[in-house]
Amino acid sequence: MTDVSLTDSAAFVARYGRPPEVVASAPGRVNLIGDHTDYNGGLVLPTALPRRTRVLLARNVDGLVRATSGQVPGAMSYRLGEEARARRWLDYVQGVTQVLLQDRFPIGGFDLHVESDVPVGSGLSSSAALEVSLLRGLRELYGLRLDDTALAMLAHRAETGLVGAPVGVMDQLVCSHGDERSALFIDTRSLALRRVPLPDTLALVVIYSGVDHDLTGGEYGVRRAECEQAAALLGVPLLRDVAEDDPRIATLPGALPQRVRHVLSENARVLAAIEALEARDLPRLGALFDASHRSLRDDYAVSTPEIDLLVELAREHGAVYGARLTGGGFGGSIVIATTPQDAERVALAVARAYASAVRYAPSVVVPRLRDFESRP
């Protein structure tokens, strides 16, 4: 079996009494730059993580979806076609089967076991990884005619529909199309995709703050509503269509000018980051990371004290080109640009300093480290 360990398979057999018919997986993601632009028709530049969500599947004959997870104790089930939001991880599974049934794909009941090392609540797309891996598994199990982009769009509908998270389409597209060797440039309006190779002189360090972020929470939805309000007042369908020097931006009420300024400047930073990667200009990339974080913190107001502390601790390290909040914000993770030879040293230094300051040991997601507190 590919992408699945003997332990995962044994867990499926222990729960369901037979081996899985299909195994599939999808990666988490880290966004290099381009946050809160995707639901504004904008530009994003994520890459896939080495951490993945794996699903094991087998058909059943009773019309039920039975689900277990190696990360959450207990078993859950529902009848296919009777999906209902329950505010549990099963909602992501229900969202997937609901959209497949809505589009009349021929699926039946199935047994499911999920294993994942993508940290939940970390802002690294654990939800999209689950949706995409499940859709990949069901595509194989039932012979569904779905290309990778169509699959990503179904996953996006599952999350915005039954799950109720008002997200853009970036996460599902990169979990479906992305790889670890390149960034994926996505125009979220046209859905045009282009791979941008990551220089071998660049290493990414991803550190989870321990502050969970929840895209179904109120503040994320508030930001999206603010953007929609600003677009309506400016007479455009999406903020992507506004010129950065439009004088009307300054006349918008409340915090809307700052929200618009972030979206437009972040789109420009995505294009500049592609140029920096292609030129192997890592100091320039790092400066763009820093500018993006300031914009997310000051103009978009989605950072937290813990995230800001992690970013500042990273910037104090001489081997760091730049650091920023990554993902939707309100907690989650940061991404640091450094060199391959310095990545582990940077990760250890930042994690230890953060743990000392907040009395919480953060998760170093990339590179993989074991028990950093015990290292010299």
Q: How far apart are CA 364 and CA 323, in angstroms?
A: 14
| Inside any domain, residue 15 | no
| Inside any domain, residue 14 | no
Which of 146, 165, 197 lies at the terminal end of a domain, its last residue? Answer: 197
Query: Are 139 and 215 in the same domain?
Result: no
| 334 closest CA partner among 356, 354, 373, 308 | 308
| Inside any domain, residue 8 | no
| 127 closest CA partner among 164, 81, 74, 102 | 164
| Inside any domain, residue 7 | no
Query: Are 208 and 349 in the same domain?
Result: yes
- The encoded tokens of residue 262 equal 């972030």
Query: Are 189 and 292 in the same domain?
Result: no
Sign of the Cα pseudo-torsion (259, 189, 224, 314, in order)? negative
For residue 326, the cross-strand partners are 333
| Inside any domain, residue 316 | yes
Query: Are 152 and 253 in the same domain?
Result: no
- List the CATH number of the domain containing 91: 3.30.230.10
| Inside any domain, residue 2 | no
Query: Are 32 and 178 in the same domain?
Result: yes
Whether residue 55 contacts residue 20, with contact meaning beta carbons closer than 8 Å, is answered with no
**Domain encompassing residue 315:** 203-374
- List the CATH number of the domain containing 293: 3.30.70.890
**Torsion angle of C-alpha atoms 6, 9, 14, 19, degrees rounded to 10:** -130
Whether residue 214 contacts residue 121, with contact meaning beta carbons closer than 8 Å, is answered with yes
Query: Are 172 and 208 in the same domain?
Result: no
Query: Are 177 and 246 in the same domain?
Result: no
Per-residue pLDDT tens listing for the chain (376 residues): 344 566 788 989 999 999 999 999 999 999 999 999 999 999 999 999 999 999 999 999 999 999 999 988 889 999 999 999 987 899 999 999 999 999 999 999 999 999 999 988 888 999 999 999 999 999 999 999 999 999 999 999 999 999 998 899 999 999 999 999 999 999 999 999 999 999 999 999 999 999 886 665 578 899 999 999 999 999 999 999 999 999 999 999 999 999 999 999 999 999 999 999 999 999 999 999 999 999 999 999 999 999 999 999 999 999 999 999 999 899 999 999 999 999 999 999 999 999 999 988 888 988 876 544 434 3
What pLDDT, on a 0 to 100 scale, did the predictor assign at position 87?
77
What pLDDT, on a 0 to 100 scale, did the predictor assign at position 376?
39
Active site residues: 171
For residue 179, the cross-strand partners are 182
What pLDDT, on a 0 to 100 scale, did the predictor assign at position 307?
96
Count up the domains in the chain and report the number.
2
Which of 181, 197, 213 lies at the terminal end of a domain, its last residue? Answer: 197
| Inside any domain, residue 273 | yes
| Inside any domain, residue 11 | no
